[in-house]
Amino acid sequence: MKILQLQLYVLICCQYGVSDLLTDLGSNVSINCDLDENDVYWILLKTADPPTMILQSFSTQTPPFYPNKTFRKKYSVQFKHRLVINNVTVDELGVYYCMNTETPPKLSNSTRIYFNESTQLTECHNHTVYEFIEQNQTQWQIISIISALMNGLLIIVLIGLLKVFVFGNRRSTDRSQQLNADLQQTQVAEQHQDPQQLQYAEVDFSKLRRNIRSSQINSTYASLQLPKS
pLDDT at residue 117, as a whole number: 63
In angstroms, rounded to a whole number, what is the distance separating the alpha carbons of residues 4 and 75? Answer: 25
**Paired residues of 22 in beta bridges:** 114
Whether the CB-CB separation of 92 and 85 falls below 8 Å is answered with yes
pLDDT in tens, the chain (229 residues): 455 456 555 555 555 578 888 988 889 999 999 888 889 999 998 877 788 999 999 988 889 999 999 999 999 998 888 999 999 998 899 999 999 888 888 888 889 998 876 555 555 555 655 666 677 678 778 888 988 888 888 899 889 888 888 877 777 777 777 777 777 777 766 666 555 554 555 655 555 555 555 455 455 444 555 555 5
pLDDT at residue 96, as a whole number: 93
Long-range contact set of residues 146-151: C-beta below 8 Å, sequence gap at least 24: none
DSSP code per residue over 8-77: HHHHHHHHSSEEEEE--TT--EEE------SSEEEEEE-TTS--EEEEEE-SSSPPPB-SSGGGGTTEEE
One-letter amino acid of 64: P
pLDDT at residue 16, as a whole number: 55
